[in-house]
Amino acid sequence: MHSRSASLLLTIALLVSATTPLSVRGEEGECSSRGLYEGEFFPGVGKIEYEGAESTNPLSFHYYNADEVIMGKPMKEWLRFSVAFWHTMRGDGSDPFGSGTKLWPWEDAGLDEMELAYRRMRAMFEFLDKLGVDYWCFHDRDIAPELGSLAESNAALEKVVELAEHLQKETGKKVLWGTAQLFKHPRFAHGAATSPNASVHAYSAAQVKAAMDATLRLGGENYVFWGGREGYHTLLNTDLKLELDNLASFLKGAVAYKNKIGFKGELLLEPKPQEPTKHQYDWDVATTMGFLHQYGLSDEFKLNVECNHATLAGHSCDHELRLASAYGKLGNIDANTGDAQTGWDTDQFLTDPKETLLVAATILKQGGLAPGGINFDAKLRRESTSLIDLFYGHISGMDAMARGLRNAAKMLEDGVLPGMVKNRYSTYSTGVGKKIRDGKVDFVELEKVALSSPDPIEDLPSGSAELYEIILGSYIR
């Protein structure tokens, strides 16, 4: 039997066994009954519990123990996990070469678009509850359908947000961030804010305005801009300067609207070098910082760094996180990874213990990510077609980050590796080095120092990268 029919049988078996009715608490009019389902979407899965590293149960946490205190804070506060609605609820397994493979119980071709949207939202909250994750992230067009006109789409979004608000009140779950999907519809083929057609720029602004309203209403702690189509395929037809000016104008409009409606969350830009465009304007952390600085926007935005985008830009995730953090701009992490043998953004769950150690070290060193967090912008492989794989995927990602956090805390608390780095720069603590740091020395004085000292080559210490690797490796537990 091939896997698709096996998965179909499993899905049917799960559906048949779904007999426990979902209770309808807190009657608040019509909205509380939207999308009601005849049972659980994930029957047979209970709350995922911490069982420790020795457990052989794959539906348990081996490292993530939400309330365990690490370096003064519970793990859940350091990590602030979030599930991404688009991948987890809407990811159907399609890729550029093939159609969807997944048959999730909340998808039902017989239902109308709104009823489907409500059901997906209920499935999301059941998933969050069972997984023990407090936050979720959304795109406007993934939680609610695009209808015949902008006004109808806005009204649909409001109705779905009303249900989400109701479910949040029932469960205590929260929005980490919201965003607008300005890349899927053909109207955004030439860009959204950077479209050569001003009507598209206006449409994009209207969509962001509604998505910011929705994020505010749901108490979202951040709002993200990912400019998937804000770039070009050929410079021959592109006025690069005008497009950058228009992008800045758009972002200034978003800042003004944020202030107008009293949204207190952070605004975040999410760098990515390319895909779907050949060149995306917010290429990487350094490019995005330069853009923000150029347009006087650096006080208004922080960054959402995605690990898979970092590697597409030719950097390590560690590099992008460290640079963003060094600028005081690391606002959120999209925890995922690519594949060294696949050239595109595969959005896999990040499970490498060395990488999560490095990611966690930056989080610990900057004292946390709040109001940002760690969003699982990660999806199942196309051939992972069992419902339970959604749990395996998120558990693997949460556990890997928790393991990284434990290991990074041990590494920082021991102080061996940080001490070696500190020592490497010790000449800047006294004498001329201190003066350099304090900006109290000019080239004339530096020349005097150089002329009167031995040539540094006589006593230049080794970088000992290999020793650092051994020490880092000793913390991967």
Ligand X SMILES: *[C@@H]1O[C@H](CO)[C@@H](O)[C@H](O)[C@H]1NC(C)=O
**Residues at the contact surface with ligand X, assessed by CB under 6 A:** 197, 199
At its nearest, how many Å lie between Mn ion and the CB of residue 257? 26
Q: In the bound complex, what is the minimum distance in angstroms from residue 179's beta carbon to Mn ion?
A: 13
- The smaller minimum CB distance to ligand X, of residues 199 and 342, is found at 199
- Total site size for Mn ion, rule CB under 5 A: 3
Residue 99 interface partner, choices Mn ion, ligand X, none, CB cut-off 5-8 Å depending on type: none
Q: Is 107 left (phi over 0), alpha (psi -120 to 50) or beta?
A: beta
Give the CA distances from residue 178 to residues 140, 343, 375, 467, in Å, rounded to whole numbers and listed in that order: 8, 28, 11, 43
Question: 197 or 427, CB closer to ligand X?
Answer: 197
Q: Which is nearer to ligand X, 197 or 429 (CB)?
A: 197
Min dist. Cβ of residue 25 to ligand X (A): 46
Q: Which does 308 bind (CB under 5 to 8 A by kind): Mn ion, ligand X, none?
A: Mn ion
Q: How far is the CB of 376 from ligand X (least distance, A)?
A: 36
Give the Cα separation of 78 and 282 in Å (integer).
Answer: 27
Q: Which stretch binds Mn ion (CB under 5 A): 35-43, 340-348, 378-386, 450-458?
A: 340-348
Return the one option of Mn ion, ligand X, none that residue 197 interacts with (CB less than 5 to 8 A, by type).
ligand X
Positions in 381-410 near Mn ion (CB under 5 A): none
- Of the residues 308, 332, 337, 385, which one makes contact with Mn ion according to CB under 5 A: 308
Between 204 and 308, CB nearer to Mn ion: 308
Of 62, 87, 139, 394, the active-site residue reads: 139
How many whole angstroms separate alpha carbon 274 and alpha carbon 129? 35
Question: Which of 320, 347, 355, 399 lies at the binding interface for Mn ion (CB under 5 A)?
Answer: 347
Taking only Cα atoms into account, the Rg of the chain, rounded to an integer number of angstroms, comes to: 24
- Positive or negative, the CA dihedral 60, 61, 67, 68 is positive
CA distance 184 to 200: 13
C-alpha 22/C-alpha 122 separation (Å) is: 10
The verdict on whether 2 is a catalytic residue reads: no
Two tokens, residue 416: 């061996």
Our CB check for Mn ion shows the closer of 37 and 86 to be 86
DSSP string, 29-53: TBGGGTT--SS-SSTT----EE--T
Type of residue found at 404 = G
Q: Which does 347 bind (CB under 5 to 8 A by kind): Mn ion, ligand X, none?
A: Mn ion
Structure tokens at 288: 């995005």
270 binds, among Mn ion, ligand X, none (CB under 5 to 8 A by kind): none
181 touches 140 (CB < 8 A)? yes
Residues 6+ away with beta carbon under 8 Å from 223: 177, 178, 179, 211, 212, 215, 254, 258, 263, 265, 266, 267, 268
Nearest 5 degrees, angle CA 328-CA 330-CA 336?
160
Minimum gap (Å) between residue 199 Cβ and ligand X: 4
Instruction: Find which of ligand X, Mn ion, none residue 40 binds, CB within 5 to 8 Å per kind.
Output: none
Nearer to ligand X, 109 or 198 (CB): 198
Rounded to the nearest 10°, the torsion over CA 443, 449, 455, 460 is -90
- Give yes or no for residue 126 binding Mn ion (CB under 5 A): no
Per CB under 5 A, residues contacting Mn ion are 308, 345, 347
**Which residues carry out catalysis?**
139
